[in-house]
A and B are shown apart, each in its own frame.
Chain A
Amino acid sequence: MTDALVADVLFGAFALGSVITGWRVFRTDSMMRAAFFLLASFAAVGGMLVILGAEFLGMVLILMMAGEMLVMAIVMVMFMMNPAGLNPMWMVHQHRVAVAAGVSSFLAIASLGFLVDFREDPNVQPEMATVELGIELLGDSMLVFQTAGVLLLATMIGAVAIASSRGRFGAAEEGSEEPALDPEDRAAS
């Protein structure tokens, strides 16, 4: 088999895999499984990017998704009152709206493939793709990315401050209690 054929077969496998696992996200009956399927779908998209020559972007996508999906799964389980995501549940709500939104956004994004004028000379050198990305990030788009970066950092610090174990009523692991409502009890304790 030639390299081009191998690349085509792999691309097809990743594309099919990302669609199937993406569909399974909504058909499975558990939040944890949905998170794992979504991760598999994103990893397949990362594989497609690697085959398209965007090696760095593809690998970074795969790298970042591992942590993000785990955080998402933990937070989902935390807020959904479904012990550890083990109870069966429906993964969708508002079926008709969801189907309409899904189909229309798919068509909108897929139409980009026909509307955009792609370059005739594909960038075949992955190292040049990484270099061009770096120049873009620290050149024309620097203000956008630096603003977004500072904003994200501020959000992270805020989230850590909110989630910190040292709350208003003492450290969380020491069984902190709210002060009593009655002022006399408060003075006693």
Chain B
Amino acid sequence: MRPAAPLELAVPLVGIVVVIGVYVVAVLDQAISELVGGGTLRWRRVAFDPLRSAAHLVTQQRRTTERPDTPGWILAPALLSALAALALAMVPLGPTTVAADPETGFVVFSAAIAFVMIAVYLHGWSPNSLFALHGAYRFGAQALSLQIPFLLAMLATTLPAESLSIVDIVQAQESLWNVVRQPLGLPLYLVVGVGASFWGPMNLPDAADLAGGTGVEDSGVARLLWKSARSAMLVAVAAMGATGFLGGWWGPWLPGAVWVILKTLVLLVVLIAAGHLFARVRVEAFVVVAWALLIPLALLNIFVSGAVLL
């Protein structure tokens, strides 16, 4: 572990970033939804609707199911939030401004993404309910197919850096961002990233055709926590995309931290807009695409990046 921000400072900061990120996702989602729907943007509604929904959920009556696995049900949203916070802690705002910069940052981030499937599966299995379980199994197929292309797309960014540390990955992009160096990288990362954070067209486990999927039995605070955790995961995926492919803190005129936030916002808009512009994919078709198309493309990306470096 290399020197990073002191724990007393880093932990609250990451927590604040998670809370702000969740709110920003809710606002962007509402705004893009109204723009895509062709309506006029009403800022008051866009800004306050998420807060109103949150207040509604906090005061809602709790429901439960017959013989659920209560510890698992409580644990699932907490686990997903913790994973999002862990992933966000790996994102550097500057060469030394980072919550944690372990030597194996890439592996830590990938482990957080891999554990998302455990959180979603636990969330769908524990309520002892049909549609929730159905959503959990869908995500099992989806996430297991996504893991390898996700790892390979991210792994390519460690090649120019010759390091698994996220700070080193950004340092290596000073002259040329990875989005130019590896043209396949960012599109691949966004496709698998939107799948790993089960958002928009890839929201199969919590889909409306399952009446809410793994979240169908959630109510009140538990539902709010699960939705927030999902949004936080989306922020983490966008922030890591901005870091790994869009050059992180590198950029003219503005301070590095502002660049990281701006780039993260751009990717967030892309990811959220995808949810309103594309239809939900079918899991059977997607699994075939992941194994037969995304993995070969990701391998090609790695081979080309390696060959260029040699």
Q: Which residues of A does B touch, CB under 8 Å? A: 30, 32-33, 36, 39, 55-56, 59-60, 62-64, 66-67, 69-71, 73-74, 84-86, 126-127, 130, 160, 165, 173
Contact = CB atoms under 8 A, between A and B. Distances in A.
B107 A70 contact: no
24 contacts: A32-B69, A33-B69, A36-B72, A55-B1, A55-B102, A56-B104, A56-B107, A59-B107, A59-B108, A62-B111, A64-B114, A66-B114, A66-B115, A66-B118, A67-B147, A69-B118, A70-B140, A84-B125, A84-B133, A86-B128, A126-B103, A130-B104, A165-B284, A173-B284
A4 to B, nearest CB: 14
A160 B284 CA distance: 14
A35 B117 CA distance: 13
B176 interface: no
B114 A127 contact: no
Nearest to B287: A165
B132 to A, nearest CB: 10
Interface size class of B (residues with CB under 8 A): 20 to 34
B291 interface: yes
Contacts of A36: 72, 118, 122
A85 to B, nearest CB: 8
B103 A66 contact: no
A78 to B, nearest CB: 10
A70 B117 contact: yes
B144 interface: yes
Contacts of B122: 36
B121 to A, nearest CB: 6
Contact of A74 (B107, B111, B137, B291): B137
B258 interface: no
Interface string B94-135: 000000001110011011001101100110010010000100
B10 interface: no
Given A36-B122, A63-B114, A71 B144 contact: yes
A9 B125 CA distance: 33
B164 interface: yes
Nearest to B136: A84
A7 B102 CA distance: 16
A130 B103 contact: yes
A39 B118 contact: yes
Contacts, number: 65
Contacts of B103: 55-56, 126-127, 130
A152 B299 CA distance: 17
A130 B164 contact: yes
B117 A74 contact: no
B122 to A, nearest CB: 7
Nearest to B291: A160
B144 to A, nearest CB: 6
A54 to B, nearest CB: 10
Given A36-B122, A127-B103, A67 B117 contact: yes
Nearest to B163: A127
Interface in B59-115: 69, 72, 102-104, 107-108, 110-111, 114-115
Given A66-B117, A173-B284, 8 more contacts: A36-B72, A55-B1, A55-B103, A55-B104, A56-B104, A70-B121, A84-B125, A85-B125
Contacts of B114: 63-64, 66-67
Nearest to A6: B7
A158 B107 CA distance: 28
Contacts of A67: 114, 117, 144, 147
Contacts of B72: 33, 36
Contacts of B144: 67, 70-71
A30 B284 CA distance: 28
A65 B144 CA distance: 12
Contacts of A30: 69
B75 to A, nearest CB: 9
Contacts of B133: 84
A181 B65 CA distance: 47
Nearest to B126: A32
Contacts of B128: 86
A126 B147 CA distance: 26
A163 to B, nearest CB: 11
A56 B110 CA distance: 12
